[in-house]
Amino acid sequence: MDTVRQAARRALEDRLEIRLAGEGGQGMILAGVILAEAAAIHDGLNAVQTQSYGPEARGGASRSEVIIARGEIDYPKVMAADLLLCMSQEACDKFYTQVKEDGCIIVDSTQVSRLPSHRAIAVPFTQIAQETTGRRITASMVALGFLCGLTGVVSKQALEKAVCDRVPAGTEEMNLKALAAGFAEAERLRGNGSEPVCT
Amino acid sequence: MTIQLLQGNHACARGALTAGCRFYAGYPITPSSEIAEIMARELPRVGGKFIQMEDEIASMAAVIGASVGGLKAMTATSGPGFSLMQENIGYAIVAEIPCVVVNVMRVGPSTGIATHPSQADVMQARWGTHGDHPIIALAPGSVLEAFELTVKAFNFAEKYRTPVLVMMDEVVGHMREKVDLPDAGSVEIVNREMPSVPPEWYEPFGNPPSDVPPLAPFGEGYRYHITGMLHDPRGFPTERLDEIQPWIERIFRKIDRHLDEICMWEEDSVEDARVLIIAYGATARSARQAIKIARARYGRKVGLLRLKTLWPFPEEAVERAAEDVQRVIVAEMNLGQMALEVERVVGRKKVVRVGRADGQMVTPEQIVDAIRAPQPQAVSLRVAVPW
């Protein structure tokens, strides 16, 4: 049995497939761009980011897919996710089947009430965001911090640099705070001995 | 230069600026709008002009005007806008005006699905405008190539006095990848030939040994006539048989005699291949993934011919690559368009079409299934599209 961290590291040797899914306006595409930039520019890995969204500016399904690898990346989309982040019930219902057997599902329990599996890791990202920054929109940064803290796919420093480069000017501090809250949540989970394992 | 995470549309705009593009006229449309956004920001900084026009018909007209005025000019659009541009693309072909048109393909027909990818405009690229005409169309398969092929497009346009189409799909246009774009100084840039004769001797549509007459910019003393009607060497309408046929043969010849330069492709794992996949744009990446899976998991000998030039169709490359294989799979985000050309070259029996038109990428699994299918299920679209 591997921990999520070991499974992610192993996948990285070939290709690590991450899907960030939610609704338009939740920042899923920005989160994908930040994750890809942290991996590709600051951590020296290879990364490709793609997105799929509807014509709406807000609402409607929106997702971002990030492939990270040590070598070249061919197919730029997720075939079966190693890591799936669901920020809405609809995203969860739609994508939980397209996850690898040893893949990891992380859901925002503020938004998702019906969990697809007892193995899904439920964290109230939106609630944490609200408490930490007062802005629900920073839930994507909390989730990103949690995802990276849990799996170790990119370093905290790399992620922080990418956040500062990509978020709107003047919001860096707020977003870093949200990110740190996500990392802290992951540390808490790992520290209390209940680190998730992949079966 | 610096390594960065860049979108295909961004790389395309950077390619245009590097190639010397100094005029952009367009009407924003998903999924091409980032190109307009970047050109609107960057062109004024380098002394260029950006105009947002009232529609795509006017955009193409403005591009033609700017090019005749002596600037390298472009526009970018998607299917609905590309349809509107067809008339003036024909005008640019007939008037031999260098320009670049980028089409970031989304699902059609008509308004289709604005945000989802497609490769279903590739035949429109060939025959969207009426009448016999040659055309050059390129299809980048990565963010870096969006830069490289946009530069090439400008170079071909200038060298051959013709519109050049960059047929990007939404996946490549919106995908972000790690790239290290080359410095401007290390990129080959071609500029149009100017007349070396005084204005009174100038023939804007003459028949020089190169088949590409020099192009004088308007406003520099060379007074000449430009028309969409078929014209004589001076540019005036003609119906003389001894002028029309030689003229149309020349505009084909100026492209055809340079197929070695214009037709670009890339081969991957073809040496021992029993099955050949032909693909372009983002779909070629599905194909490469499929080859890895088919070789590693099923021991199938599969290779890829990736087309970077769609038009003129690289038929010699296709013929050569397909010679010793049992099956040719043509994978594309449409229900079989370039497959028609492949069938023309290698015969229908060998060809399997793997396509889809639902706004999703052709998946590696889809291609692997076609590789493993006991019989090549040629031509039948329904059978070849299991999803």
Q: Tell me the pLDDT tens digit for each residue of A133-184.
A: 999 999 999 999 999 999 999 999 999 999 999 999 999 999 999 999 999 9
Q: Evaluate whether residue B179 is within a structural domain.
A: yes
Distance from CA of A93 to the nearest CA of B (A): 19
**In B, which residues are within 8 Å of A76 by CB distance?**
171, 175, 177, 282, 285, 361
Which residue on chain B is closest to A74 by alpha carbon?
Answer: B285
* Segment B114-142, tens digit of pLDDT: 999 999 999 999 999 999 999 999 999 99
CA dist., res. B18 & res. B11, Å (int): 10
Q: Evaluate whether residue B31 is within a structural domain.
A: yes
Q: Evaluate whether residue A39 is within a structural domain.
A: yes
CA dist., res. B306 & res. B212, Å (int): 29
* Segment A26-57, tens digit of pLDDT: 999 999 999 999 999 999 999 999 999 888 77
Contact B296, B323 (CB under 8 A): no
- pLDDT of amino acid A198: 54
Is B37 in the same domain as B133? yes
Residue B333 has pLDDT above 60, yes or no: yes
Mean pLDDT for the stretch of residues B52-58? 98
Q: Tell whether A74 lies on the interface with B, counting CB pairs under 8 A.
A: yes
Q: Which residues contact B306 (CB under 8 A, 6 or more apart)?
A: B141, B265, B266, B267, B268, B278, B279, B280, B284, B287
Q: Evaluate whether residue A196 is within a structural domain.
A: no
Percent above pLDDT 90 for chain B: 95
Q: Evaluate whether residue A199 is within a structural domain.
A: no
Domain that holds residue B289: 267-384
Q: Tell whether A80 lies on the interface with B, counting CB pairs under 8 A.
A: no
Domain that holds residue A62: 2-191
Q: How far is CA B17 from CA B142, B168, B274, B347, in A?
A: 18, 18, 43, 42
Is B14 in the same domain as B153? yes
User: Cα angle vertex A134, ends A130, A135, to 5°?
Assistant: 80
Is B8 in the same domain as B110? yes
Q: Compare B45 and A59 and report the one with higher pLDDT.
A: B45
Residue B378 has pLDDT above 50, yes or no: no
**In B, which residues are within 8 Å of A75 by CB distance?**
285-286, 288-289, 361, 363-364
Mean pLDDT for the stretch of residues B338-352? 96
Q: Evaluate whether residue B376 is within a structural domain.
A: yes
CA dist., res. A77 & res. A74, Å (int): 9
Question: What's B329's domain CATH number?
Answer: 3.40.50.920
Residue in B265, B227, B71, B228 with CA at minimum distance from that of residue B154: B71
Buried b (16+ CB within 10 A) or exposed e, A70-102: eeebbbbbbbebbbbbbbbbbbbeebbeebbeb
Q: Helix or strand or coil: residue A110? A: coil
Residue listed under structure tokens 């990446």: B285
Distance from CA of B285 to the nearest CA of A (A): 5
Q: Which residues contact B256 (CB under 8 A, 6 or more apart)?
A: B134, B312
- pLDDT of amino acid B386: 38
* Segment B217-269, tens digit of pLDDT: 999 999 999 999 999 999 999 999 999 999 999 999 999 999 999 999 999 99
* Segment B278-287, tens digit of pLDDT: 999 999 999 9
CA dist., res. A37 & res. A68, Å (int): 10
Q: Evaluate whether residue B252 is within a structural domain.
A: no
CA dist., res. A42 & res. B93, Å (int): 46
Domain C-terminal end among B186, B201, B225? B186
How many domains does chain A contain in total? Answer: 1
Cis peptide before B109 (omega within 30 of 0): yes
Q: Evaluate whether residue B41 is within a structural domain.
A: yes
